[in-house]
């Protein structure tokens, strides 16, 4: 009953997470040459686009004002990190040019966007430029529930491939099992579970591959499919996973009688499969710290040890309830071994989880305000529940098992204790499996830091207001970036636009650099505002002095503006105090966990349980 309730709750939670918002892009356009809205003197020989992670495929077009292509129809992806894409151009003259792009990143996600630039003395009015800035965007495919499910099942299946055989090698060594408990039966059940995990890994990899191929080229030809498999990161990873799953299935059929060889082969296949996941993760693609992807791999291995031991104890050991005496002795030894191993797994999971969070979550408030942050909170909430169950098992059930195992005669309640233990272990295993499925949702979303930066980039308006006497002055800068901007100014009195204005103007200055640009005279628009074009040529703080003759009196106010980097240009992200704290706590947790694990194994050795 408890297991069914947990399954129902996990399904409801998983469906709720799948019905979230559309995913933002994973591969961000860091900058481009020319930049969005930039005006260059001469027509460039090529366009350069720099992305935040490696690009496998790119489709980029450059169009003139008449919609005609001026690119050569080819893209050049630079090596070695594949973050630079060059688009050679033909010839062109003065005018406005639009760049539309779509890329498939190394993490298997597609992102598309557009921007524009001006060449020579291209004439553009404020309204046209406003529309051009409004058309510049960066979006991604809608978050795909099928991808999230497949990723979660892939994580679960690979972890079972590692964890279940490892449990038989370490937690429940077959050579220590009494013949009355049929070691062959335990191996047979482990064999079936691992074979099922291999089939699940094969199917999940196939679904992920089909999903990514369809997003990339739709319905491919055989030649296109082979090209995707051999030249893209996700294609090569899929081929490796297919080979690993096939190897496990083949070895399971051919070498099932050689238990140790097959168990070791399954563990190695699972670890290599997890390595392919780590080398196509957000951490691998976005984090520049050398070896940061190892935290992903260790995180997966920690989960594998935990779920594997739980699966072994739940599905393999407690089944012969009719042989309570032998089962209790085996459970007493195995659970104490597993408790020490699970403690190590929890320490690794907690420490690596905090470090991974520090890579992708810039601030504490990013957790409740971003899609991936909220999913991460759900994952951590499940972890808290699991740790509560594990603590109750360790402090209550395991001592009871040891006491019953040490008694010479069958004590009352042994059968009930075995059933209670099995129920607790299965509940814990289901919750851990739920964490893997939630992780599938988490990895199908952009990290919190990426989501926040893309939201900030989408906010392409800077607005300020000031009051001078009875007059309020509203200033709007679109898109509020370094370079060319549309400036809108409105003078109001008692909330109504003032019609009797003369000489509405803006004077841009940057005192730090000693720059004072020519005065810009604004022209009236239909809604009572005055518009013009202002070029903020340098980054840093600018003062925009807005003035006009109001009822025969010159009214002015100076606005302080700090334009952001040109749209499509990502600033360097400094490490925050929250990220430093997360890494510090993770390191301390790993140290404390290591001490406790050492103590546990020493205690077990003294009790001869490891001999």
Widest Cα–Cα separation across the chain: 107
Residue 330 — pLDDT band, cuts 50, 70, 90?
low
Partner residues linked to 77 by β-bridges: 85
323 vs 306, more confident: 306
Structure tokens at 30: 């860091």
Query: 318 pLDDT exceeds 50?
Result: no
CA distance 173 to 334: 9
Helix, strand, or coil (residue 468): strand
Residue 158 — pLDDT band, cuts 50, 70, 90?
very high
Residue 71 per-residue DSSP state: B
Q: Using alpha carbons, list the distances in angstroms from residue 184 to 46, 188, 256, 263, 328.
A: 67, 6, 10, 13, 19
The per-residue pLDDT for range 5-34, each reduced to its tens digit, is 444 444 444 444 444 444 444 667 888 888
3-state SS record for 470-485:
CEEEEEEEECCECEEE
Q: Residue 244: its pLDDT value, please? A: 92
Check if the beta carbon of residue 322 is closer than 8 Å to that of residue 180.
Answer: no
CA 281 to chain centroid: 8
Helix, strand, or coil (residue 44): coil
When mean pLDDT is compared over 150-159, 258-267, 525-534, the highest value belongs to 150-159
Q: Residue 596: its pLDDT value, please? A: 73
Q: Residue 35: its pLDDT value, please? A: 84
**Helices assigned H by DSSP within 87-232:** 126-135, 145-166, 183-217, 222-231
Q: Residue 17: its pLDDT value, please? A: 43
Check if the beta carbon of residue 71 is closer than 8 Å to that of residue 61.
Answer: yes
Q: Residue 201: its pLDDT value, please? A: 94
CA distance 29 to 598: 47
For residue 564, count other CB atoms closer than 10 A to its CB.
17
Residue 271 — pLDDT band, cuts 50, 70, 90?
very high
Q: Residue 183: its pLDDT value, please? A: 56
Query: 320 pLDDT exceeds 50?
Result: no
Q: Residue 21: its pLDDT value, please? A: 43
Residue 468 — pLDDT band, cuts 50, 70, 90?
confident
For residue 553, count other CB atoms closer than 10 A to its CB.
9
3 vs 99, more confident: 99
pLDDT (mean) for 132-153? 73
Nearest to 466 by CA among 555, 562, 564, 526: 555
Phi and psi angles of residue 609, each rounded to the nearest 5 degrees, phi first? -80, -15
Q: Is 291 left (phi over 0), alpha (psi -120 to 50) or beta?
A: left
Q: Residue 173: its pLDDT value, please? A: 58
CA distance 471 to 464: 14
Residue 433 — pLDDT band, cuts 50, 70, 90?
confident
CA distance 272 to 361: 28
The per-residue pLDDT for range 489-517, each reduced to its tens digit, is 999 888 888 877 888 889 999 887 778 88
When mean pLDDT is compared over 131-145, 247-261, 488-502, the highest value belongs to 488-502
Nearest to 371 by CA among 17, 15, 9: 17
For residue 426, count other CB atoms closer than 10 A to its CB.
19
Strand bridging mode 110-119 / 38-40: parallel
407 vs 50, more confident: 50
Q: Which of 255-259, 371-375, 390-394, 577-581 has the lowest mean pLDDT?
A: 255-259
3 vs 295, more confident: 295
Helix, strand, or coil (residue 104): strand
Check if the beta carbon of residue 85 is closer than 8 Å to that of residue 51.
Answer: yes
303 vs 142, more confident: 303
Phi and psi angles of residue 464, each rounded to the nearest 5 degrees, phi first? -140, 155
The per-residue pLDDT for range 212-241, each reduced to its tens digit, is 888 777 777 888 888 888 888 888 999 999
Structure tokens at 217: 């080229």
Query: 199 pLDDT exceeds 90?
Result: yes
Q: Residue 272: its pLDDT value, please? A: 93
CA distance 258 to 362: 50
Q: Residue 273: its pLDDT value, please? A: 93
CA distance 304 to 291: 21
The per-residue pLDDT for range 392-407, each reduced to its tens digit, is 877 777 777 777 666 6
Burial zone of 437 (CB within 10 Å; 0-12 exposed, 13-18 middle, 19+ buried): buried
Q: Residue 605: its pLDDT value, please? A: 64
Q: Using alpha carbons, list the distances in angstroms from residue 470 to 463, 464, 495, 555, 599.
A: 20, 17, 10, 10, 76
Q: Residue 386: its pLDDT value, please? A: 84
The per-residue pLDDT for range 349-375, each reduced to its tens digit, is 888 889 899 888 888 888 898 888 899
Q: Residue 25: its pLDDT value, please? A: 46
The per-residue pLDDT for range 409-418, each reduced to its tens digit, is 555 566 677 7
Check if the beta carbon of residue 29 is closer than 8 Å to that of residue 566.
Answer: no
Instruction: Indicate the average pLDDT of the chain.
Output: 79
Partner residues linked to 116 by β-bridges: 98
pLDDT (mean) for 170-177? 60
> Percent of the chain beyond pLDDT 70?
81
Q: Residue 611: its pLDDT value, please? A: 47
Query: 200 pLDDT exceeds 90?
Result: yes
Angle separating helix axes 577-606 and 324-360, nearest 10 degrees:
160
DSSP code string of 495-560? TEE---EEEEEEEEEETTTTEEPPPEE-EE-TTS-EEEEEEE-SSS-EEEEEEEEETTEEEEEEEE
Q: Residue 275: its pLDDT value, please? A: 92
**Helices assigned H by DSSP within 72-182:** 126-135, 145-166
Structure tokens at 330: 């085996």
Residue 204 — pLDDT band, cuts 50, 70, 90?
very high
Q: Is the dihedral of CA 5, 8, 13, 14 positive or negative?
A: positive
Residue 167 per-residue DSSP state: I
The per-residue pLDDT for range 535-578, each reduced to its tens digit, is 888 888 889 999 988 888 888 999 998 887 765 555 556 678 88
Residue given tokens 């999230």 in the structure block:
148
Q: Using alpha carbons, list the distances in angstroms from residue 439 to 14, 151, 372, 431.
A: 10, 8, 10, 12
């Amino acid at each position: 009953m408890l297991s069914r309730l947990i399954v129902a709750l996990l399904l409801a939670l998983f469906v709720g997470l799948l019905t979230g918002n559309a995913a933002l892009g994973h591969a961000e356009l860091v900058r481009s040459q020319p930049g969005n809205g930039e005006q260059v003197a001469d027509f460039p020989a090529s366009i350069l686009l720099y992305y935040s992670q490696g690009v496998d495929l790119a489709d980029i077009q450059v169009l003139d004002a008449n919609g005609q292509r001026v690119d050569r129809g080819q893209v050049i992806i630079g090596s070695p990190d594949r973050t630079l894409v060059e688009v050679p151009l033909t010839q062109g003259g003065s005018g406005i040019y639009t760049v539309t792009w779509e890329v498939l990143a190394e993490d298997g996600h597609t992102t598309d966007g557009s921007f524009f630039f001006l060449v020579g003395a291209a004439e553009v009015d404020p309204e046209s430029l406003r529309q051009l800035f409004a058309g510049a965007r960066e979006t991604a495919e809608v978050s795909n529930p099928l991808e999230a499910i497949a990723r979660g099942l892939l994580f679960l299946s690979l972890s079972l491939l590692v964890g279940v055989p490892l449990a038989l090698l370490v937690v429940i060594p077959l050579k220590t099992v009494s013949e009355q408990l049929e070691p062959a039966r335990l191996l047979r059940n482990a064999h079936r579970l691992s074979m099922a995990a291999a089939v699940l890994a094969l199917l999940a990899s196939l679904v992920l591959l089909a999903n990514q191929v369809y997003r990339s080229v739709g319905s491919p030809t055989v030649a296109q499919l082979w090209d995707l498999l051999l030249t893209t990161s996700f294609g090569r990873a899929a081929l490796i996973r297919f080979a690993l799953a096939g190897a496990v299935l083949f070895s399971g059929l051919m070498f099932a009688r050689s238990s140790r060889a097959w168990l070791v082969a399954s563990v190695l296949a699972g670890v290599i499969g997890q390595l392919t996941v780590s080398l196509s993760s957000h951490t691998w693609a976005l984090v520049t710290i050398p070896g940061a992807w190892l935290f992903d791999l260790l995180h997966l291995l920690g989960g594998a040890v935990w779920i594997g031991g739980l699966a072994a104890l739940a599905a393999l050991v407690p089944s012969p309830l009719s042989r309570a005496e032998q089962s209790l002795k085996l459970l007493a030894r195995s659970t104490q071994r597993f408790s020490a191993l699970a403690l190590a797994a929890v320490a690794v999971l907690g420490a690596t989880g905090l470090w991974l969070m520090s890579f992708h979550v810039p601030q504490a408030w990013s957790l409740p305000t971003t899609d991936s942050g909220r999913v991460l909170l759900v994952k951590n909430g499940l972890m808290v529940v699991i740790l509560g169950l594990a603590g109750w098992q360790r402090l209550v059930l395991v001592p009871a098992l040891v006491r019953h195992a040490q008694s010479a005669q069958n004590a009352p309640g042994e059968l009930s204790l075995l059933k209670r233990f099995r129920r607790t272990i299965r509940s814990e295993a289901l919750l851990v499996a739920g964490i893997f499925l939630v992780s599938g949702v988490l990895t199908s979303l952009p990290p919190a830091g990426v989501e926040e930066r893309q939201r900030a980039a989408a906010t392409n308006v800077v607005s300020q207001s000031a009051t001078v006497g009875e007059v309020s002055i509203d200033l709007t800068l679109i898109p509020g970036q370094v370079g060319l901007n549309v400036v809108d100014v409105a003078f109001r009195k008692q909330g109504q636009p003032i019609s009797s204005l003369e000489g509405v103007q803006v004077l841009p200055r940057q005192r730090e650099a000693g720059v004072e640009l020519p005065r810009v005279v604004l022209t009236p628009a239909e809604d009572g505002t005055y518009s013009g074009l202002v070029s903020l040529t340098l980054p840093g703080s600018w003062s925009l002095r807005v003035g006009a003759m109001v009822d025969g009196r010159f009214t002015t106010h100076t606005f302080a503006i700090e334009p952001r980097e040109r749209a499509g240009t990502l600033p360097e992200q400094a490490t925050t105090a929250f990220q430093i704290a997360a890494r510090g706590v993770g390191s301390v947790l790993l140290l404390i966990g290591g001490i406790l694990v050492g103590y546990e194994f020493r205690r077990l050795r003294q009790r001869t349980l490891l001999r």
